[in-house]
Structure 1
């Protein structure tokens, strides 16, 4: 293990609880951030007896739920406007808003459950949840256990990896970078094809 990794590991052990809470909170925003790696690292620390695993899972779940609530209540700030902005920024098709609304008509409250594990659904659909009849009590009943399962899964993965988490996370990082690069190329190639094909609608 390199000196840098050793220093980072020691720092994380010392500040595990605060880092887990912030990392989970930021990760739930759907911006590129290695929050799940932090949770896995905390799980490895817990396996070594350095931190309490129940407290790690509890703080991670709390961080996730805070941001998830922001997505849910964002609808009161103009869910449709936020969704249209997101659709434009991601070069989505003109029927992006309509397709998102259709999710609720087809799947109902299950959209909340799926959204905890799929960032695109969380960002697109949750701000419209209240407009489609998803009451807060229903949102909470689905989101709370989903947040707990999501957090416990990543912490548990780190627990199982134990001392090997650093090597595993380093390998996963490079694999993720490669997949993200290929995915980005495929995405923009697909968007370009849709815009340039004969008869394509202008967005």
Structure 2
């Protein structure tokens, strides 16, 4: 479906992003998303549908929009991963607390997510606003393998970016409506995470039961009278 409406005018983040995409094409969208990952107040829920709208206008293809924004997500995430790995945690927290719309609680929440869920926090966290950027910091601080971090970041970002870019493409001049449904998508992700955690706990319980049974089996054979 091709959108025919004019590009969003005016100032603000949307106007700046629209101008950059018009000038640089899909790479411009990738640059903005990379900045969004390093500077969380830039909302991906606005940038990604706007990239889809620009694709609908024929400025670039949907696939190139998804590819460049996913690449930008990985670049920005790796930058924060390196910060988390190289900088003292208290310095990182102090610096982040000075960024507008970023609070110390956001950083602590991201750290708690990573400590509880590990690699799944990196993958699913890419689809949860408030976590998606900051989870890179504890991943670096805890020395998560770089290749695993990069792969899971790319996969999670690919899903998130595809949904929002295609949403903006499909809605055309009403691309901004996609942001309203970001909360629904976030709830879906959280439900999937809860189901995954429950499944992992169940597997761990079954594994523990098998281990206990195997340890007790020789004793039972010794104590059983011969027939």
Aligned CA RMSD, in angstroms, stands at 3.7
Report 1:71-150 matches (<5 A). 71-85=80-94, 89=98, 90=103, 92=105, 102-122=112-132, 124-150=134-160
| Shift, 1:134, TM fit | 1.8
Stretch moving more, 26-35 or 133-142: 26-35
Compute the TM-score of the two structures, normalised by the length of structure 2. Answer: 0.58
2: CA distance, partners of 1:162 / 1:14? 20
Structure 1: tracts of 5 or more residues without a match:
173-203
Give 1 or 2 for the bigger CA radius of gyration.
Answer: 2
2:169 to 143, 159, 163: 159
User: Does 1:66 pair with 2:70?
Assistant: no
Secondary structure of the residue aligned to 1:129 is helix
User: Does 1:32 pair with 2:36?
Assistant: no
Count of matched residue pairs = 167
1:51 to 56, 60, 64: 60
| Shift, 1:71, TM fit | 1.2
Q: Residue 92 and residue 86 in structure 1: after superposition, are their counterparts in 2 closer, same or farther (change >3 A)?
A: farther
Secondary structure of the residue aligned to 2:9 is helix
| Shift, 1:53, TM fit | 1.4
Stretch moving more, 24-33 or 63-72: 24-33
| Shift, 1:137, TM fit | 1.9
1:21-40 CA-to-partner distances (Å, cap 9, x unmatched) read 22211211243224442331
User: Does 1:5 pair with 2:15?
Assistant: no
CA contact (8 A) 2:21 2:27 kept: no
2: CA distance, partners of 1:21 / 1:3? 18
CA contact (8 A) 1:83 1:124 kept: no
Stretch moving more, 121-130 or 70-79: 121-130
Structure 2: tracts of 5 or more residues without a match:
181-227
Compute the TM-score of the two structures, normalised by the length of structure 1. Answer: 0.63
